[in-house]
């Protein structure tokens, strides 16, 4: 397990490169990523290719025992290209053009840009095809960053019509699938379909969902230009992309087959501020939320059910969140350990040195702008040494958490409550698993679920007979399944089935949904479960058991006494349906009962911010809080890093099982 860094030689005088690369090697780095934003440096004039500088940087890296990861430079087309082909630019729903001057200024469906991409990727791939120091490539950079997966330009309009024709065959099938009689939206031909541009009221939910699907697949289609050319040049290279945290519009599962390696970019203190409801706590401002970061690790591991990389690890203070606090002392080391525990094989810090120019001057590097070591460098150096001793097998998770962007999109199109948010709902159950020191793969429902003893399916909203059948067979074989609110409420066209929710899941659940409601804090939001009373939030259902046993009931409110949680024996397994969005106490109780039934090893419930994560017989104790924590481990456990007192923003590693850990109540 090693550490690396993202480097921009083009930002620095050539005479500085040798010392930079020496210092990277001294810190024990293995990989150096370069070139993602270098098109105007690679091709300063149309047709004038300058790659010798990049070849020199690659050689320096190779000469110091490290390997280069190069990037195709298409995230930032040069100004001469935009002036030559202004049609490559994207448009907003109201027709506003997303102009040149920042980044990601191109449309995935622009024929002209696809041609320019083929040209520049071919030139780079051929140039480095026989270079022994290039280990692999990252395609472009963070597809969709700055909300650029979706575009409403005329190229997208034409491509959407073609996509619909391929998907539905004839326009009557489209009318039937969407339900276009409503509000006089019947279509006579695919030519009548436009992108969902600016309207007075909300769009048709089925049309919007298909537009989100089309947009995500446009990025996948564009990415295939890169992967095909890179593999033609040298099929020994790995081809990767760097995805983002809690990101809605870019569907990693749709990319999975065409990438050898999934990587993502982890900025914990930023994510805690800009993509979670509610204010970040003081500790989260210093180290982030381990379950928010952990769920992304497990999503990008689950996307291909194999190890992943963190291609960009936060190195210190970052410029883009609302606030830019200095991370806690040791946080940069904590994050790298946490990533490896969750299955990362490599962690590269973004960036080597704070940049003196451009939009990211207020973004730290491992070195300061004068080249002197910054806080992150010392953490990275120490972590590289600690991890170098480890050669770990992949994570072997007992539990799967099902995640599907189509469900995210459909429930965000009709949230039915201002505080409905798919990631947050999902994370309520994920955090309950993690608080019990259970590893979970976050996987698409269509992935192979045969290896999991327990399956958690948060808001499994769009369900067809095929998915219901696959889950039935897993439960019949003995798996434990936990379904949550809004599961089975829609078909895959985002229409209500002609039976009550949970639709095709009804036999499995042994109950149907009699009523649903979204509930603000002014209303009664309590349920009884296993002799205790718990709170819930946002969304609730009144269940009508039909074979299942009601194990939880609404307390108070209009639904007083109605079933809220049901349990149903099905074949050799059981299905729990939790018909409320549980507060953490109820989520823990329901999850713990499922783990007991599934016989999945788990620890006592750990406090917020303290997590135990097992990989290949080793357990990481990670403390994302500012208070040291004392743990007790089995007598035969061997400490590799640290010991039983885990300091603030610290990580410790022992050889032993996570489930055997307990907090020392000394
Ligand atoms: C993303 C991008 C990088 C940089 C960082 C800043 O991860 O990939 O180019 O902008 O954010 O944190």
Per-residue model confidence as pLDDT tens digits over 231-267: 999 999 999 999 999 999 999 999 999 999 999 999 9
Taking only the tens place, the pLDDT of each residue in 35-50 is 999 999 999 999 999 9
Residue to substitute in 250, 263, 312, 327 for testing ligand 1 pocket (most ligand atoms within 8 angstroms of CB): 312
pLDDT(123) > 60? yes
Q: Which two tokens stand for residue 281?
A: 């706590």
Instruction: For the chain, give percent helix, strand, coil, nearest 5.
Output: 35, 25, 40
In angstroms, the CA 258 to CA 253 distance is 10
What pLDDT, on the 0 to 100 scale, is given for residue 368?
98
Taking only the tens place, the pLDDT of each residue in 431-441 is 999 999 999 99
**Whether residue 265 has its Cβ less than 6 Å from ligand 1:** yes
Helix axes 405-413, 422-435, angle to 10 degrees: 130
pLDDT(567) > 70? yes
DSSP conformation class of 284: H
DSSP conformation class of 552: E
Cβ-based neighbour number of residue 385 at 10 Å = 12
Rounded distance from Cα 249 to ligand 1 centre (Å): 17
What pLDDT, on the 0 to 100 scale, is given for residue 487?
98
In angstroms, the CA 258 to CA 235 distance is 13
What mean pLDDT is predicted for residues 579-603?
A: 98
Helix, coil or strand: residue 465? helix
Rounded distance from Cα 16 to ligand 1 centre (Å): 23
Is-catalytic flag, 465?
A: no
What pLDDT, on the 0 to 100 scale, is given for residue 639?
97
Pairing of strands 2-6, 344-350: parallel
In angstroms, the CA 269 to CA 285 distance is 5
Which one of the listed residues 36, 43, 284, 312 is annotated catalytic?
A: 312
Rounded distance from Cα 562 to ligand 1 centre (Å): 49
Taking only the tens place, the pLDDT of each residue in 177-227 is 999 999 999 999 999 999 999 999 999 999 999 999 999 999 999 999 999
Which atom in ligand 1 lies closest to the alpha carbon of residue 265?
Answer: 7
**Whether residue 143 has its Cβ less than 6 Å from ligand 1:** no
In angstroms, the CA 61 to CA 211 distance is 43
In angstroms, the CA 250 to CA 264 distance is 12
What is the band of 628 on the pLDDT scale with cuts at 50, 70, 90?
very high
Taking only the tens place, the pLDDT of each residue in 303-350 is 999 999 999 999 999 999 999 999 999 999 999 999 999 999 999 999
**Whether residue 140 has its Cβ less than 6 Å from ligand 1:** no
Residue to substitute in 74, 145, 313 for testing ligand 1 pocket (most ligand atoms within 8 angstroms of CB): 145
Nearest CA to ligand 1 atom 5: 350
Nearest CA to ligand 1 atom 1: 265
Is-catalytic flag, 312?
A: yes
**Whether residue 615 has its Cβ less than 6 Å from ligand 1:** no
Residue to substitute in 240, 245, 265, 318 for testing ligand 1 pocket (most ligand atoms within 8 angstroms of CB): 265
Rounded distance from Cα 132 to ligand 1 centre (Å): 28
What is the residue-averaged pLDDT of the chain? 97
pTM for this predicted structure: 0.98
Which atom in ligand 1 lies closest to the alpha carbon of residue 244?
Answer: 7
Rounded distance from Cα 302 to ligand 1 centre (Å): 23
**Whether residue 447 has its Cβ less than 6 Å from ligand 1:** no
Nearest CA to ligand 1 atom 12: 318
**Whether residue 8 has its Cβ less than 6 Å from ligand 1:** no
**Whether residue 35 has its Cβ less than 6 Å from ligand 1:** no
Q: Which two tokens stand for residue 517?
A: 């409601």
What pLDDT, on the 0 to 100 scale, is given for residue 665?
61
Taking only the tens place, the pLDDT of each residue in 143-167 is 999 999 999 999 999 999 999 999 9
Which one of the listed residues 43, 142, 386, 567 is annotated catalytic?
A: 142
DSSP conformation class of 367: B
């Amino acid at each position: 397990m090693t550490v690396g860094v993202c480097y921009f030689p083009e930002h620095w005088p050539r005479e500085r490169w040798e010392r930079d690369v020496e210092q990277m090697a001294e810190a024990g780095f293995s990989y150096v990523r370069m070139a993602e934003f270098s098109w105007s440096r690679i091709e300063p004039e149309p047709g004038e290719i300058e790659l010798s500088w990049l070849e020199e940087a690659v050689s320096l890296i190779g000469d110091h025992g490290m390997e280069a990861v190069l990037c195709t430079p298409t995230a930032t087309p040069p100004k001469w290209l935009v002036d030559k082909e202004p049609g490559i630019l994207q448009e907003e729903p109201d027709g506003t053009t997303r102009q040149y001057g920042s980044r990601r200024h191109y449309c995935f469906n622009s024929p002209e840009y696809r041609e320019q991409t083929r040209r520049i990727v071919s030139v780079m791939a051929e140039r480095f095809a026989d270079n022994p120091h290039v280990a692999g490539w990252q395609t472009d950079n963070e597809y969709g960053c700055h909300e650029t997966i979706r575009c409403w330009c005329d190229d997208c309009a034409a491509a959407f019509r073609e996509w619909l024709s391929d998907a539905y065959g004839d326009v009557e099938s489209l009318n039937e699938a969407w339900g276009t009689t409503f509000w006089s939206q019947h279509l006579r031909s695919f030519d009548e379909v436009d992108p969902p541009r600016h309207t007075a009221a909300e769009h048709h939910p089925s049309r919007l969902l298909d537009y989100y699907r089309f947009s995500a697949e446009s990025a996948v289609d564009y990415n295939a230009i890169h992967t095909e050319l890179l593999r033609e040049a040298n099929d020994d290279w790995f081809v990767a992309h760097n995805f983002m945290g809690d990101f809605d519009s870019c569907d990693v599962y749709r990319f999975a087959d065409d990438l050898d390696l999934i990587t993502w970019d982890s900025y914990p203190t930023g994510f805690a501020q800009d993509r979670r409801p509610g204010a970040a706590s003081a500790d989260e401002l210093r180290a982030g939320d381990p379950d928010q970061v952990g769920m992304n690790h497990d999503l990008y591991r689950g996307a291909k059910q194999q190890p992943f990389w963190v291609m960009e690890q936060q190195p210190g203070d970052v410029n883009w969140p609302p606030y830019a606090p200095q991370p806690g002392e040791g946080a940069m080391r904590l994050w790298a350990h946490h990533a490896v525990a969750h299955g990362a094989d490599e962690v590269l810090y973004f960036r080597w040195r704070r940049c003196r120019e451009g939009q990211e001057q207020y973004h730290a590097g491992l070195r300061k702008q004068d080249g002197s070591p910054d806080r992150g460098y010392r953490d990275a150096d120490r972590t590289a040494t600690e991890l170098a001793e480890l050669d770990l097998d992949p994570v072997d998770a007992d539990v799967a958490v099902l995640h599907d962007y189509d469900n995210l999109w459909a429930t965000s199109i009709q949230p039915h409550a201002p505080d409905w948010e798919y990631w947050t709902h999902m994370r309520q159950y994920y955090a309950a698993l993690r608080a019990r020191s259970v590893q979970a793969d976050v996987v698409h429902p269509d992935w192979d679920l045969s290896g999991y003893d327990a399956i958690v399916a948060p808001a499994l909203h769009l369900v067809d007979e095929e998915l219901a059948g696959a889950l039935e067979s897993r439960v019949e074989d003995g798996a434990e399944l936990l379904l949550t609110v809004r599961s089975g409420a829609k078909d895959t066209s985002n229409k209500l089935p002609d039976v009550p929710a949970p639709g095709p899941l009804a036999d499995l659940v042994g109950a149907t949904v009699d009523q649903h409601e979204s509930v603000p804090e002014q209303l009664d939001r309590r349920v009884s479960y296993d002799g205790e009373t718990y709170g819930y939030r946002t969304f609730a259902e009144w269940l009508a058991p039909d074979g299942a046993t009601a194990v939880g009931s609404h307390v108070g409110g209009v639904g007083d006494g109605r079933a809220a949680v049901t349990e149903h024996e099905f074949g050799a397994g059981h299905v729990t349906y939790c018909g409320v969005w549980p507060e953490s106490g109820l989520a823990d109780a329901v999850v713990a009962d499922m783990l007991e039934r599934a016989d999945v090893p788990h620890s006592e419930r750990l406090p917020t911010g303290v997590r135990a994560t097992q990989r290949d017989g080793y357990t990481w104790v990670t403390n994302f809080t500012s208070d040291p924590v004392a743990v007790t481990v089995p007598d035969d456990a061997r400490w590799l890093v640290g010991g039983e007192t885990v300091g603030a923003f610290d990580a410790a590693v022992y050889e032993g099982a996570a489930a055997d850990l307990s907090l020392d109540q000394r």
